[in-house]
Amino acid sequence: MKESVMDVRLRLMFREEDRPFLLDVSSLFYDFELLHDFSLILCAEDYQAYRFSRYFWYRYGRPIKADHKLRVVRIVKESPLTIELVIAGIVAGSGALWILIQAIEKIRNWGLNREKLKLEVKKLRMENDKLQLELEQKAKERDAHYILGPLVRRLERIPMKLVDIEISVNEKDEDKFVFR
């Protein structure tokens, strides 16, 4: 995988669940993918011609380039479920990461340490001034406001609840990722 100027790694940790249903795990993954793609299409210049429609929800309904797709680094189904993802630099550079984080923060029943998340976002804002887009405003500008609400509600309905998120930024070399 060719790296962009910078990539971002997210580590998502979920509340311990004893033997979750496969449908819940796969729904979590798919809906998070939709959230990522929504953020990217909303913000990245490469996707400005995309018109949101009902096809957005389909498996192949979004024209995401291969090097912009969400990548899995690790999935650990132990206690707790942990997912590590690499998000292409275009996401951070376009402001889509900020949109993604704002949407995660909107999911009320994910018991995040909101103060920690706010500090992570503040750090990202200082690293990249393009991250100051507002979610609802951007969605309205692209006539995509009707997708955000249902997407957030889908993630809220999944029994596995996000309890922690760690964000790290990498300048090209994957070995330089550090989690705090």
Instruction: Report the alpha-carbon angle 10-121-78, nearest 5.
Output: 30
Size (the chain), residues: 180
Mention every residue, 6+ apart, whose C-beta is less than 8 A from residue 81.
13, 14, 16, 17, 20, 25, 75, 160
Output the pLDDT for position 61: 93
Is the pLDDT reported for residue 38 higher than 90? yes
178 alpha carbon, distance to own chain's centre:
19
Output the pLDDT for position 5: 55
Cα distance between residue 10 and residue 58, in whole Å: 24
Nearest to 152 by CA among 114, 107, 118, 113: 107
Residue 57 DSSP one-character state: G
For the chain, percent helix, then strand, then coil, each to nearest 5? Answer: 50, 15, 35
The pTM (predicted TM-score) of the whole model is: 0.74
- 40-71 pLDDT, tens digit per residue, is 999 899 999 999 999 999 999 999 999 999 99
Tell me what the mean pLDDT of segment 2-8 comes to.
60
Domain boundaries, the chain: 7-170
Output the pLDDT for position 105: 73
Do 29 and 179 form a contact (C-beta atoms < 8 A)? no
